[in-house]
Amino acid sequence: MFQWELEVVYEEKNRSMDNPSSRINEALLKHLWAGHSYGDQSIIGEVEHLKNPPLHKVHEFFDTYYVPNNMAIVLSGDLEPQQVHKIIKKYFSSWKAKAINNKLLKKVEPLKNKKEETLQGPGEPELTLGFQMSDGSANDLPQMDVFSEMLDMRLSELVTSNQLKNADAGAFA
């Protein structure tokens, strides 16, 4: 079962490397999250990690990070609470909380200068701008939401007025 799942993940990685938007997003994360695991490695992993991972490393990672105090179960829909509780208890009651090694969670260093990268590849030209929030606490999230909405509205105006031909525009915080 593990080998089959690994092949699925490997194919996802191949598809992301062929997708211009995925490549742009990965480059953006590299700059915005420099020094942090979000930026120093791709979310899905690197090709060399997916080719032939040592099974003991996979088990070690699972045993370290797949613990109740490091996860959430999210359910939605027309559910019967008692039935859901029984299922969760059946499959997860034997799991025990453990101390989590937070060595991967580094403080993100603030950007001191503009970062710029040009990627070459197939597809339509695309421009992506990213802004680092002031700190990791998200205290400035309301301001970033307002900025995002203003930018989104202005970009949309440029597109609909044909000042940006064949373009799509959007912003998010």
Task: Write down all domains in the chain, each with its CATH number in brackets.
Answer: 2-132 (3.30.830.10)
pLDDT tens track, the chain, 173 positions: 778 888 888 899 989 888 888 888 889 888 888 877 778 877 788 888 888 888 898 888 888 888 999 888 999 999 999 999 999 999 999 999 998 876 656 777 788 888 889 988 877 777 787 877 765 566 777 877 787 788 777 777 776 776 666 566 555 55
Q: Is 78 exposed, middle or buried (0-12, 13-18, 19+ CB in 10 A)?
A: exposed
Taking the complete model, does pTM exceed 0.75, yes or no? Answer: no
Question: Minimal CA–CA distance to 69: which of 44, 102, 36?
Answer: 102
Tally of CB atoms within 10 A around 42: 19
Q: Are 44 and 13 in contact (CB under 8 A)?
A: yes
Output Rg (C-alpha) for the chain, integer angstroms: 21
Q: Quote the strand ranges of the chain, DSSP E.
A: none
Nearest-5° angle of CA 109, CA 110, CA 113? Answer: 120
